[in-house]
Protein backbone atom coordinates (compact mmCIF):
# COMPACT_ATOMS: atom_id res chain seq x y z
CA UNK A 1 0.00 0.00 0.00
CA UNK A 2 1.44 3.34 -1.12
CA UNK A 3 -0.28 6.50 0.10
CA UNK A 4 -0.06 10.15 -0.96
CA UNK A 5 -1.29 12.83 1.46
CA UNK A 6 -1.52 16.42 0.20
CA UNK A 7 -1.93 19.17 2.78
CA UNK A 8 -0.08 16.86 5.19
CA UNK A 9 1.28 19.71 7.33
CA UNK A 10 -2.21 20.97 8.16
CA UNK A 11 -4.04 20.07 11.34
CA UNK A 12 -6.12 17.22 9.93
CA UNK A 13 -3.21 16.10 7.74
CA UNK A 14 -0.90 15.76 10.75
CA UNK A 15 -3.48 13.83 12.73
CA UNK A 16 -4.25 11.60 9.78
CA UNK A 17 -0.56 10.76 9.29
CA UNK A 18 -0.16 10.04 13.00
CA UNK A 19 -3.08 7.62 12.82
CA UNK A 20 -1.59 5.90 9.75
CA UNK A 21 1.67 5.49 11.67
CA UNK A 22 -0.17 4.05 14.66
CA UNK A 23 -2.21 1.62 12.55
CA UNK A 24 0.54 0.61 10.11
CA UNK A 25 -2.11 -0.49 7.62
CA UNK A 26 -4.98 0.90 5.57
CA UNK A 27 -7.95 -0.96 4.15
CA UNK A 28 -6.51 -4.18 5.56
CA UNK A 29 -3.21 -3.82 3.72
CA UNK A 30 0.15 -3.02 5.34
CA UNK A 31 1.47 0.40 4.43
CA UNK A 32 4.75 0.37 2.48
CA UNK A 33 5.32 4.10 1.89
CA UNK A 34 3.59 7.39 2.69
CA UNK A 35 4.41 10.50 0.64
CA UNK A 36 3.59 13.68 2.55
CA UNK A 37 3.28 16.92 0.58
CA UNK A 38 2.55 20.50 1.63
CA UNK A 39 3.74 24.03 0.94
CA UNK A 40 6.04 23.57 3.96
CA UNK A 41 7.77 20.25 4.58
CA UNK A 42 5.54 18.07 6.77
CA UNK A 43 7.11 16.37 9.77
CA UNK A 44 7.28 12.57 9.53
CA UNK A 45 4.84 10.86 11.93
CA UNK A 46 6.46 9.39 15.02
CA UNK A 47 6.80 5.65 15.27
CA UNK A 48 5.97 4.85 11.64
CA UNK A 49 6.89 1.33 10.55
CA UNK A 50 6.83 2.36 6.89
CA UNK A 51 9.03 4.58 4.72
CA UNK A 52 8.04 8.25 4.76
CA UNK A 53 8.89 10.89 2.14
CA UNK A 54 8.19 14.45 3.29
CA UNK A 55 8.36 17.17 0.64
CA UNK A 56 7.76 20.91 0.55
CA UNK A 57 5.83 21.29 -2.70
CA UNK A 58 3.44 24.05 -3.67
CA UNK A 59 0.38 22.28 -5.08
CA UNK A 60 -0.34 25.37 -7.20
CA UNK A 61 2.98 24.97 -9.06
CA UNK A 62 2.42 23.31 -12.47
CA UNK A 63 5.12 20.67 -11.88
CA UNK A 64 3.88 19.45 -8.49
CA UNK A 65 1.10 17.10 -9.58
CA UNK A 66 3.33 14.96 -11.80
CA UNK A 67 5.94 14.66 -9.01
CA UNK A 68 3.30 13.67 -6.48
CA UNK A 69 1.74 10.97 -8.69
CA UNK A 70 4.95 9.60 -10.26
CA UNK A 71 5.21 6.70 -7.78
CA UNK A 72 1.59 5.71 -8.52
CA UNK A 73 0.14 5.78 -5.01
CA UNK A 74 -2.67 3.33 -4.32
CA UNK A 75 -4.54 5.90 -2.22
CA UNK A 76 -4.55 9.69 -2.63
CA UNK A 77 -5.82 11.64 0.38
CA UNK A 78 -6.26 15.15 -1.03
CA UNK A 79 -6.52 17.69 1.78
CA UNK A 80 -4.49 20.59 0.36
CA UNK A 81 -6.59 23.76 0.17
CA UNK A 82 -6.85 27.47 0.80
CA UNK A 83 -9.30 27.86 3.69
CA UNK A 84 -12.65 29.62 3.48
CA UNK A 85 -11.76 33.13 4.66
CA UNK A 86 -8.61 33.31 2.56
CA UNK A 87 -10.35 31.91 -0.53
CA UNK A 88 -12.94 34.67 -0.19
CA UNK A 89 -10.42 37.48 0.31
CA UNK A 90 -7.90 36.28 -2.32
CA UNK A 91 -9.93 35.22 -5.36
CA UNK A 92 -6.93 34.29 -7.52
CA UNK A 93 -5.21 32.19 -4.85
CA UNK A 94 -8.41 30.38 -3.95
CA UNK A 95 -9.03 29.23 -7.51
CA UNK A 96 -5.34 28.50 -8.16
CA UNK A 97 -5.07 26.12 -5.20
CA UNK A 98 -8.57 24.79 -4.64
CA UNK A 99 -9.50 24.23 -8.30
CA UNK A 100 -6.60 24.54 -10.76
CA UNK A 101 -4.11 22.54 -8.68
CA UNK A 102 -6.71 19.85 -8.01
CA UNK A 103 -7.52 19.51 -11.71
CA UNK A 104 -3.78 19.12 -12.46
CA UNK A 105 -3.61 16.37 -9.83
CA UNK A 106 -6.50 14.56 -11.49
CA UNK A 107 -4.88 14.93 -14.91
CA UNK A 108 -1.57 13.57 -13.56
CA UNK A 109 -3.45 10.48 -12.41
CA UNK A 110 -5.03 10.19 -15.87
CA UNK A 111 -1.63 10.34 -17.56
CA UNK A 112 -0.23 7.61 -15.29
CA UNK A 113 -3.29 5.50 -15.96
CA UNK A 114 -2.75 5.89 -19.70
CA UNK A 115 0.92 4.92 -19.32
CA UNK A 116 -0.12 1.81 -17.39
CA UNK A 117 -2.51 0.74 -20.12
CA UNK A 118 -5.45 1.29 -17.78
CA UNK A 119 -4.06 -0.80 -14.92
CA UNK A 120 -3.48 2.14 -12.59
CA UNK A 121 -6.66 3.37 -10.90
CA UNK A 122 -6.08 4.73 -7.37
CA UNK A 123 -8.58 5.45 -4.62
CA UNK A 124 -8.97 9.23 -4.21
CA UNK A 125 -10.50 10.76 -1.07
CA UNK A 126 -11.16 14.50 -1.26
CA UNK A 127 -11.77 17.00 1.54
CA UNK A 128 -14.89 18.86 0.44
CA UNK A 129 -17.11 21.00 2.67
CA UNK A 130 -20.68 21.77 3.65
CA UNK A 131 -19.90 25.21 2.16
CA UNK A 132 -21.11 23.71 -1.16
CA UNK A 133 -24.62 24.46 0.11
CA UNK A 134 -26.17 27.91 0.13
CA UNK A 135 -29.21 29.60 1.66
CA UNK A 136 -32.15 29.59 1.79
CA UNK A 137 -32.12 26.37 3.81
CA UNK A 138 -34.84 24.10 5.10
CA UNK A 139 -34.72 23.34 8.82
CA UNK A 140 -32.77 20.14 8.07
CA UNK A 141 -30.77 19.47 4.90
CA UNK A 142 -31.04 15.96 3.51
CA UNK A 143 -28.89 14.14 0.99
CA UNK A 144 -30.91 15.44 -1.96
CA UNK A 145 -30.66 19.17 -1.22
CA UNK A 146 -29.45 21.48 -4.00
CA UNK A 147 -25.74 22.36 -4.19
CA UNK A 148 -25.67 26.16 -4.61
CA UNK A 149 -22.71 27.75 -2.77
CA UNK A 150 -22.64 31.40 -1.74
CA UNK A 151 -18.85 31.76 -1.41
CA UNK A 152 -15.89 31.30 -3.73
CA UNK A 153 -14.60 28.55 -1.41
CA UNK A 154 -17.89 26.69 -1.66
CA UNK A 155 -17.95 27.11 -5.44
CA UNK A 156 -14.44 25.69 -5.75
CA UNK A 157 -15.36 22.67 -3.64
CA UNK A 158 -18.57 22.09 -5.61
CA UNK A 159 -16.73 22.17 -8.96
CA UNK A 160 -14.24 19.58 -7.72
CA UNK A 161 -17.10 17.35 -6.58
CA UNK A 162 -18.42 17.33 -10.15
CA UNK A 163 -14.96 16.51 -11.47
CA UNK A 164 -14.62 13.60 -9.03
CA UNK A 165 -17.92 12.15 -10.22
CA UNK A 166 -16.87 12.43 -13.88
CA UNK A 167 -13.32 11.12 -13.47
CA UNK A 168 -14.68 8.22 -11.41
CA UNK A 169 -17.35 7.48 -14.03
CA UNK A 170 -14.58 7.27 -16.63
CA UNK A 171 -12.58 4.92 -14.34
CA UNK A 172 -9.60 7.31 -14.13
CA UNK A 173 -9.68 6.96 -10.37
CA UNK A 174 -12.11 5.65 -7.76
CA UNK A 175 -13.08 8.85 -6.00
CA UNK A 176 -15.18 10.11 -3.10
CA UNK A 177 -15.70 13.67 -1.81
CA UNK A 178 -16.33 14.09 1.92
CA UNK A 179 -18.35 17.18 2.81
CA UNK A 180 -16.74 17.90 6.14
CA UNK A 181 -18.61 19.62 8.96
CA UNK A 182 -17.00 22.51 10.81
CA UNK A 183 -14.12 20.73 12.55
CA UNK A 184 -13.82 21.73 16.20
CA UNK A 185 -12.04 22.07 18.54
CA UNK A 186 -8.95 22.77 16.44
CA UNK A 187 -5.66 22.85 18.37
CA UNK A 188 -2.88 25.40 17.93
CA UNK A 189 -2.97 28.95 16.59
CA UNK A 190 -5.93 30.15 14.55
CA UNK A 191 -5.79 30.00 10.75
CA UNK A 192 -7.69 32.17 8.27
CA UNK A 193 -10.77 29.97 8.16
CA UNK A 194 -13.92 32.01 8.73
CA UNK A 195 -15.09 29.31 11.12
CA UNK A 196 -11.98 29.51 13.30
CA UNK A 197 -13.74 31.30 16.15
CA UNK A 198 -15.95 28.23 16.73
CA UNK A 199 -12.78 26.56 18.02
CA UNK A 200 -11.10 29.56 19.65
CA UNK A 201 -14.04 30.32 21.98
CA UNK A 202 -13.46 26.86 23.49
CA UNK A 203 -9.71 26.38 23.08
CA UNK A 204 -8.52 29.72 24.44
CA UNK A 205 -10.69 29.91 27.59
CA UNK A 206 -9.74 26.34 28.53
CA UNK A 207 -6.12 27.56 28.53
CA UNK A 208 -6.91 30.72 30.49
CA UNK A 209 -6.82 33.09 27.51
CA UNK A 210 -9.35 35.53 26.11
CA UNK A 211 -11.26 34.62 22.93
CA UNK A 212 -13.20 36.83 20.53
CA UNK A 213 -16.75 35.92 19.48
CA UNK A 214 -17.54 37.81 16.24
CA UNK A 215 -21.08 36.54 15.60
CA UNK A 216 -24.38 36.33 17.49
CA UNK A 217 -24.77 33.43 19.90
CA UNK A 218 -27.74 32.22 17.83
CA UNK A 219 -25.37 31.18 15.01
CA UNK A 220 -25.79 27.46 14.35
CA UNK A 221 -23.09 25.08 13.11
CA UNK A 222 -22.80 21.45 12.00
CA UNK A 223 -19.66 20.16 13.68
CA UNK A 224 -17.45 17.16 14.37
CA UNK A 225 -14.11 16.71 16.10
CA UNK A 226 -10.71 16.36 14.41
CA UNK A 227 -10.70 12.76 15.63
CA UNK A 228 -13.96 12.11 13.78
CA UNK A 229 -12.62 13.85 10.64
CA UNK A 230 -9.60 11.52 10.58
CA UNK A 231 -11.97 8.60 10.93
CA UNK A 232 -13.95 9.82 7.92
CA UNK A 233 -10.87 9.71 5.67
CA UNK A 234 -9.72 6.28 6.85
CA UNK A 235 -13.20 4.82 6.46
CA UNK A 236 -13.57 6.32 2.98
CA UNK A 237 -10.21 4.90 1.91
CA UNK A 238 -11.41 1.38 2.72
CA UNK A 239 -15.07 1.66 1.65
CA UNK A 240 -16.53 -0.21 -1.32
CA UNK A 241 -17.36 2.85 -3.45
CA UNK A 242 -19.55 0.84 -5.79
CA UNK A 243 -22.17 1.34 -3.07
CA UNK A 244 -22.20 5.07 -3.93
CA UNK A 245 -23.16 4.61 -7.56
CA UNK A 246 -22.58 7.81 -9.53
CA UNK A 247 -23.19 10.10 -6.54
CA UNK A 248 -19.64 10.39 -5.24
CA UNK A 249 -20.14 13.23 -2.71
CA UNK A 250 -21.28 12.55 0.85
CA UNK A 251 -22.25 14.90 3.67
CA UNK A 252 -20.47 13.64 6.76
CA UNK A 253 -22.26 13.04 10.06
CA UNK A 254 -21.95 15.65 12.78
CA UNK A 255 -23.77 17.43 15.55
CA UNK A 256 -25.92 20.55 15.22
CA UNK A 257 -25.38 23.21 17.88
CA UNK A 258 -25.55 26.95 18.39
CA UNK A 259 -22.77 29.16 19.70
CA UNK A 260 -24.86 29.63 22.84
CA UNK A 261 -25.00 25.85 23.32
CA UNK A 262 -21.24 25.67 22.76
CA UNK A 263 -20.74 28.19 25.53
CA UNK A 264 -22.98 26.28 27.91
CA UNK A 265 -21.00 23.09 27.20
CA UNK A 266 -17.85 25.07 27.99
CA UNK A 267 -19.44 26.21 31.25
CA UNK A 268 -20.26 22.62 32.24
CA UNK A 269 -16.71 21.45 31.59
CA UNK A 270 -14.54 24.54 32.19
CA UNK A 271 -16.70 26.51 34.62
CA UNK A 272 -17.85 30.14 34.74
CA UNK A 273 -14.27 31.41 34.78
CA UNK A 274 -13.68 29.99 31.30
CA UNK A 275 -16.91 31.49 29.93
CA UNK A 276 -15.99 34.95 31.24
CA UNK A 277 -12.94 34.91 28.95
CA UNK A 278 -15.17 35.12 25.84
CA UNK A 279 -15.42 38.69 24.58
CA UNK A 280 -18.14 39.71 22.13
CA UNK A 281 -16.80 41.79 19.23
CA UNK A 282 -18.91 41.85 16.07
CA UNK A 283 -17.20 41.16 12.75
CA UNK A 284 -19.55 41.54 9.79
CA UNK A 285 -17.18 39.79 7.38
CA UNK A 286 -16.97 36.59 9.44
CA UNK A 287 -20.68 36.66 10.21
CA UNK A 288 -21.57 37.07 6.53
CA UNK A 289 -19.54 34.01 5.51
CA UNK A 290 -20.63 31.57 8.23
CA UNK A 291 -24.27 32.69 8.18
CA UNK A 292 -24.40 31.35 4.62
CA UNK A 293 -23.52 27.86 5.83
CA UNK A 294 -26.17 25.30 6.85
CA UNK A 295 -26.45 24.25 10.47
CA UNK A 296 -28.39 21.01 10.52
CA UNK A 297 -28.20 17.90 8.33
CA UNK A 298 -29.76 14.51 7.99
CA UNK A 299 -26.63 12.57 6.95
CA UNK A 300 -28.31 9.17 6.81
CA UNK A 301 -26.60 8.16 3.55
CA UNK A 302 -23.15 8.48 5.11
CA UNK A 303 -24.30 6.90 8.37
CA UNK A 304 -25.70 3.91 6.48
CA UNK A 305 -22.24 3.46 4.96
CA UNK A 306 -20.60 3.39 8.41
CA UNK A 307 -19.39 6.98 8.87
CA UNK A 308 -19.80 8.23 12.47
CA UNK A 309 -19.17 11.34 14.58
CA UNK A 310 -19.95 12.76 18.02
CA UNK A 311 -23.53 13.30 19.23
CA UNK A 312 -23.01 16.21 21.67
CA UNK A 313 -20.76 19.23 22.07
CA UNK A 314 -19.70 18.06 25.52
CA UNK A 315 -18.27 14.99 23.81
CA UNK A 316 -16.43 17.18 21.29
CA UNK A 317 -14.83 19.20 24.11
CA UNK A 318 -13.78 16.00 25.88
CA UNK A 319 -12.13 14.75 22.67
CA UNK A 320 -10.17 18.01 22.56
CA UNK A 321 -9.11 17.65 26.20
CA UNK A 322 -7.95 14.08 25.59
CA UNK A 323 -6.16 14.68 22.29
CA UNK A 324 -4.88 18.25 22.16
CA UNK A 325 -5.39 20.44 25.21
CA UNK A 326 -2.30 22.11 26.62
CA UNK A 327 -3.02 23.35 30.16
CA UNK A 328 -2.23 26.95 31.03
CA UNK A 329 1.14 27.52 32.66
CA UNK A 330 0.68 28.92 36.17
Distances (CA, A) of 211 to 170, 183, 201, 255: 48, 18, 5, 23
Q: CB within 8 A of 277, min separation 6: which ones? A: 204, 205, 208, 209, 210, 211
Contact 94, 82 (CB under 8 A): yes
Q: Rounded to an integer, what distance in angstroms lies between the CA atom of residue 86 and that of residue 67?
A: 26
Q: Rounded to an integer, what distance in angstroms lies between the CA atom of residue 70 and that of residue 85?
A: 32
Catalytic positions, written as ranges: 153
Q: Is 33 exposed, middle or buried (0-12, 13-18, 19+ CB in 10 A)?
A: middle
Q: CA angle, corner 28, sides to 106 and 78, nearest 5? A: 25
Smallest CA-to-CA distance from 58 within 72, 40, 75, 73 is with: 40
Q: Are strands 29-30 and 25-26 parallel, antiparallel or unpaired?
A: antiparallel
Q: Rounded to an integer, what distance in angstroms lies between the CA atom of residue 44 and that of residue 48?
A: 8
* One-character DSSP codes across 1-38: -EEEEETTTSHHHHHHHHHHHHH-EETTEE--EEEEEE
Q: Rounded to an integer, what distance in angstroms lies between the CA atom of residue 291 and that of residue 278?
A: 20
Q: Are strands 174-180 and 123-129 parallel, antiparallel or unpaired?
A: parallel
Q: Rounded to an integer, what distance in angstroms lies between the CA atom of residue 81 and that of residue 146?
A: 23
Q: Rounded to an integer, what distance in angstroms lies between the CA atom of residue 307 and that of residue 280?
A: 35
Smallest CA-to-CA distance from 180 within 236, 139, 140 is with: 236
Amino acid sequence: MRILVTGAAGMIGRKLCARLAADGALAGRPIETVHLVDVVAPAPPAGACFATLCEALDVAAPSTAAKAIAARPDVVLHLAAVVSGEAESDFDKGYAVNLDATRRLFEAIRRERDRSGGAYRPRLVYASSIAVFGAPFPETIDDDFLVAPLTSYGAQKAIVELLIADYSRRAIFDGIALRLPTVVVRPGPANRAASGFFSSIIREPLSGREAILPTPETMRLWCASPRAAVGFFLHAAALDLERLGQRRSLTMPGFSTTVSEQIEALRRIGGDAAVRLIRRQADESSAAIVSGWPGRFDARRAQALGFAAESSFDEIIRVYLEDDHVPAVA
